[in-house]
A and B are shown apart, each in its own frame.
Chain A
């Protein structure tokens, strides 16, 4: 008994044999036990289905049917929450705060952010007067580095960007001075550079506000970055708990070992990559020159131009695996629509096999599409749910009036078997297919026309690590057999590092750098590329540190862009010229191009080979 009180006094949260089961008796969390000391940050990682989120919800008293706690106890400051739900509810939002992974939908869209922060504080601490609550909210918005917090206080959630909204939700959690913060996948929906800032912020807040944090996430590098200790959850059980360094060096459990081994690397394995030198004599299969596209939006303040794509230039050569990377809002998807002729550019030209896609007649465009095809991101929305798998694959052949009925069927079957889908699926509907199988089907549909160029728009981002690997192998095999050229549009640096031979980096509608794989990762020519690399989640020793590469802040809005270089506002090396003039892409030698004035200062002999 004496020992018992001693441990509970020390631990803020003490979970003992916590078991959660679904209605049918299926056990989701199996005798979870751990302790969390005040001010400690503990990461919880595990794959989807391992029970991470259920644990977070159980601790926040937020389990909903069919899940319920069937055993164990959760001692918070020595009092059991499982046997005393009323006490648990009174702690929710006050002593135990929760931040989720969906900041965009977390607040009422019809009320200002400030009003909701005040409402929340006064709901859990009615004794605080409204004026004081308001003052505190503004102070905390400043503390999480929301620019002009006083004004932002009166803005609505839809006027916040994703990263800012997540900061506001952190304020929402911390405003009641909780002892425990449960952060459930808070960086997942954010871009890497923004996520890195949020992580840094969370650590600072942990020091300043002495809040203990339970940091739940699915990425091992992020978990290791964020926490003092990492707890690994597998199939509803705690399989190990160690400090990040020890965990990476000496994983104790097979699951953790597998996780670490599977983790793709950015720099390890040397500068080999998948590099193939281009034969420059060969004509480019796709050549993009100075392409721009803007969209008109009508807001309350009148019409505005969104400059989605401003100045994109690159060449793709036959047999290339060309990557286009950038964060959300950089114009990747608008560019995809231009490359495939779904929309026409406002300026510039796109040549596919020496024919201008941007100016081709609709009829000619359809003929051209036989030779370049598109595979999309969403495995669910991109397939018609009412057509059988066979007819989905046959449809492109029908559209282009190729072959007889029997011939089409034969080709469709061949395509299905090539992507690894069973022949028996031919007549069934796509309803039962997994996300990975659906993407295989999408690939089959695209390649049945025997195109020369395949454009993959975030094709793999909806899949988990293992499935991604399998599909990448498939792409490689198909390339060897059919001589495809790929364009991968992606936000995932590790994927691009693994498969692409040359990579274009986009920032706010511009290609800021185009370079061969190894050159981009080992000698990036643009500060934004360095910032991206510094923020990429990895366990390796970083070549670039976020502190040196990225200033606080978020990309400017594509509606009113500052003059000069768009990255200048976040660039630690920006000087006067960057704010006046926008640099153009210039050769750095070795087929590498970058749009940055800093490169002008490098000695002449380095540049040309």
Chain B
């Protein structure tokens, strides 16, 4: 009963958020300078043709009408068609307005559906790496606040947080791919291509996890139920692994939710450096080509993912700590 009401409420709130995000993006995109039709048809296309295409596509209608049409499509699962990308997957860009082979334009939904799983894979692996690195360090630091492990955790996270990801990406690619030939770096031809970018991302996320964990583990270890557990006869392992870690995982969970959403939204720099065919790369190209429908589609999908992840995080948090009430 609780779960049904919870989901109904949160999904409704989520729908409102996604609607607002799309309205905002839609409006802003049409306010910024630059005519997408010019980009689509190519610099050489005559003015009359441009106007005609624009009329045909409804781009000269008032914004609210355009938005209404767009929303009507989205509700039916139709995110529209890319302005620039042809369906047959030929090279992007619109130099030739009269090239008939490129008349059919790609569906935004298909473009996202092709790239999103790649980003999901990258994000999951990055998360896994980050947890493997950060959890032992963070817990260890939290168990001995103010002592050496705590300081090691602090120094390590300062170090990690101050490494620029583009620099680390390039250096690791040089070292591990070019010199040692351990992992491939550029493009994507198999799972191995995910490892290096995921590792670079993990180093970027790890400091936040370490800090959150040291603080919350130290906080929990200072509480009286931990203090008294030893007198009640529990062993140190039971205290740390069954009680301390469980109690300190709620703040961590919230952090992971936010971090994971950000990863899913597309890791622009890393995907660009490694030429990784994920949402990030798609976003960069869409922005550079003023591919409005694609940008909108990505925004909507990302916002929806953000909403869903937060719902999952809150559900997990309530499962861990029944006092929480969302």
Contacts and interface: CB of A to CB of B under 8 A. Distances in A.
A299 B235 CA distance: 35
A110 B246 contact: yes
A98 B321 contact: no
A301 B1 CA distance: 9
B230 A98 contact: no
Interface in B210-251: 223-225, 228, 230-235, 238, 242-243, 246-247
Interface residues of B, number: 21
A98 B225 contact: no
Contact of A123 (B235, B246, B321): B235
A106 B228 contact: yes
Nearest to A178: B233
B320 interface: yes
B147 interface: no
Contact of A156 (B223, B228, B247, B322): B322
Grouping DSSP codes into helix (H, G, I), strand (E, B) and loop, the A interface class, with mixed when no group exceeds half, is loop
A109 B325 contact: no
Nearest to A56: B231
B231 A60 contact: yes
Contacts of B242: 119
Interface residues of A, number: 30
Contacts of A94: 233
B191 interface: no
Contact of A105 (B224, B234, B235, B322): B224
Contact of A124 (B233, B321, B323): B233
Given A62-B230, A110-B247, A102 B224 contact: yes
* B contacts with A: majority SS: helix
Interface in A92-111: 92-94, 97-98, 100, 102, 105-111
Given A108-B225, A123-B235, A124-B233, A298 B325 contact: yes
A185 to B, nearest CB: 13
A120 interface: yes
Nearest to B223: A105
A260 to B, nearest CB: 33
A577 to B, nearest CB: 38
A529 interface: no
Given A98-B228, A105-B225, A108-B225, A156 B233 contact: no
Interface string A99-141: 0101001111111000000011001100000000000000000
A347 B162 CA distance: 60
Contacts of A405: none
A119 B320 contact: no
Contact of A119 (B2, B228, B238): B238
B224 A176 contact: no
A109 B234 contact: no
Contacts of B323: 109-110, 156, 158
A300 B325 contact: yes
A62 B320 CA distance: 29
A156 B243 CA distance: 14
A120 B228 contact: no
Contacts of A300: 2, 325
B23 to A, nearest CB: 30
Interface string B306-326: 000000000000001111010
Contacts of A98: 228, 231-232
A98 B2 CA distance: 38
9 contacts: A92-B230, A92-B233, A93-B232, A100-B228, A108-B247, A110-B322, A119-B238, A120-B234, A158-B323
The 5 closest A-B pairs by CB, nearest first: A93-B233, A105-B224, A124-B233, A93-B232, A98-B231
Interface of B: 2, 223-225, 228, 230-235, 238, 242-243, 246-247, 320-323, 325
Interface of A: 60-62, 92-94, 97-98, 100, 102, 105-111, 119-120, 123-124, 156, 158, 172-173, 176, 298-301
